[in-house]
């Protein structure tokens, strides 16, 4: 009988894709907090933080001991999961009122982002899987965290930087769309959902930018606010439409087997829920809260399914998951 790997060994063998699990857990935590389930939100955030620390330690060890493998992984598009996961975790921590660690995570993500982004763009190909949209997700993750911290600390330059990242993220989405293989919608192993998740995190960034404006921190004039509102609404509508299309594709072509890339299905689900609730608050549209809360609990169910799949894959041995 083959020996089963320890949980730490099994987990360590899966970067950079494992970053999607951290991001999924962190955004589910954010969605739960926005929905009012604070205890569950804190529990999910704790799991996300511990998982992030494990991946960060492995990241450093590989850089020191296995530099060739580290460079090979850094050149993959999936490496941008590290930036995205760091920013979403930082956003959850900032929402708890812990701004200093959130600032540290923003600084770390900002250092990693240009390096990993350039490496990813240099290795783009034609007909890529959904991971190609991580260039947008990582950029918008920075925008979300910068806007959240800008509002919490009344720091205008952070909010203005977030606005630049917001528009850059949309540009990167357009570029990624030209490289995405649409057949992945029916054939992908889970990461095809990132196409919709990138739109959702863009809508979340827009909502955070709108929420950052206040009487004490005057950021946008009326024209700027109108453009930002319109863009945010359009992005939310597109992300919800994309959600429905992806659900329909799953129904038309079921893919029930577990794959590590299924965590890249969970985080767009959680991201869409968080974006819906954030837009509801930023645009004073309370009618959006009910669908947002429903989407949160769907994301929680998807997270539990992915966690169960991971546990079964670990039990089955090294050839699974």
| Residue-range domain boundaries for the chain | 7-316
- Tell which residue, 134, 77, 142, has the closest CA to residue 109: 142
Q: Which fold has domain 7-316?
A: Glycosyltransferase (1.50.10)
User: H or E stretch including 139?
Assistant: helix 134-153
Q: Which long-range contacts (CB under 8 A, 24 or more apart) does 56-63 make?
A: 58/12, 58/15, 59/15, 62/15
Q: How far apart are CA 1 and CA 318, in angstroms?
A: 12
**Contact yes or no for 17/78 (Cβ under 8 A):** yes
Instruction: Return the percent helix, strand and coil in the chain, to nearest 5.
Output: 80, 0, 20
Q: Assign 161 to helix, strand or coil.
A: helix
Q: How far apart are CA 14 and CA 59, in angstroms?
A: 11
Task: Write down the pLDDT at residue 1.
Answer: 42
**Contact yes or no for 89/104 (Cβ under 8 A):** no
**Neighbour tally for 46: CB within 10 Å:** 12
Task: Write down the pLDDT at residue 317.
Answer: 59
Q: How far apart are CA 58 and CA 234, in angstroms?
A: 39
**Contact yes or no for 204/274 (Cβ under 8 A):** yes
CA torsion through residues 120, 126, 131, 134, sign: positive
Give CA angle at 200 (19, 278), nearest 5°: 105
Look up tokens 């809508």; give the residue: 203
In degrees rounded to 5, what are phi and psi of residue 64? -80, -45
Per-residue pLDDT of the chain (321 residues), as tens digits, is 445 554 545 445 555 667 889 999 999 999 999 999 999 999 999 999 998 998 888 777 777 777 777 676 667 788 898 899 999 999 999 999 999 999 999 999 999 999 999 988 888 888 899 899 999 999 999 999 999 999 888 888 998 999 999 999 999 999 999 999 999 999 888 889 999 999 999 999 999 999 888 656 667 777 778 899 999 999 999 999 999 999 999 999 988 877 788 889 999 999 999 999 999 999 999 999 999 999 999 999 999 999 998 888 777 755 444
**Contact yes or no for 263/191 (Cβ under 8 A):** no
Beta-bridge partners for 128: 180
């Amino acid at each position: 009988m083959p020996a089963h790997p320890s949980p730490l060994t099994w987990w360590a063998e899966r970067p950079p894709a494992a970053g999607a699990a951290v991001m999924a857990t962190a955004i589910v935590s954010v969605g739960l907090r926005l929905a009012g389930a604070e205890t569950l939100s804190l529990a999910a955030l704790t799991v996300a933080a511990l998982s992030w620390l494990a991946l960060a330690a492995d990241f450093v060890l590989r850089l020191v001991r296995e530099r060739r493998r580290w460079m090979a992984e850094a050149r993959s598009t999936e490496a941008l999961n590290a930036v995205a996961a760091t920013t979403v975790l930082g956003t959850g921590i900032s929402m708890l009122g812990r701004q200093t660690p959130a600032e540290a995570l923003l600084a770390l993500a900002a250092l990693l982002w240009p390096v990993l982004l350039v490496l990813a763009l240099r290795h783009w190909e034609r007909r890529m899987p959904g991971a190609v949209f991580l260039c947008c997700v990582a950029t918008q993750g920075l925008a979300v965290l910068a806007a959240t911290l800008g509002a919490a600390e009344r720091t205008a330059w952070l909010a203005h930087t977030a606005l630049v990242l917001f528009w850059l993220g949309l540009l990167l989405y357009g570029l990624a769309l030209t490289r995405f293989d649409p057949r992945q919608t029916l054939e992908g192993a889970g990461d095809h959902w990132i196409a919709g998740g990138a739109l959702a995190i863009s809508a979340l960034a827009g909502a955070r930018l709108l929420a950052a404006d206040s009487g004490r921190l005057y950021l946008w004039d009326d024209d700027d606010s109108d453009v930002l509102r319109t863009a945010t609404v359009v992005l939310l509508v597109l992300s919800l439409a994309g959600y429905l299309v992806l659900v329909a594709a799953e129904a038309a072509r079921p893919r029930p087997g577990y794959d590590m890339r299924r965590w890249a299905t969970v985080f767009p689900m959680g991201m869409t829920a968080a974006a819906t609730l954030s837009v509801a608050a930023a645009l004073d549209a309370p009618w959006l809260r009910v669908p947002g809360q429903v989407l949160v609990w769907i994301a929680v169910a998807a997270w539990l399914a992915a966690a169960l799949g991971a546990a079964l894959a670990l039990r089955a041995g090294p050839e699974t998951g």
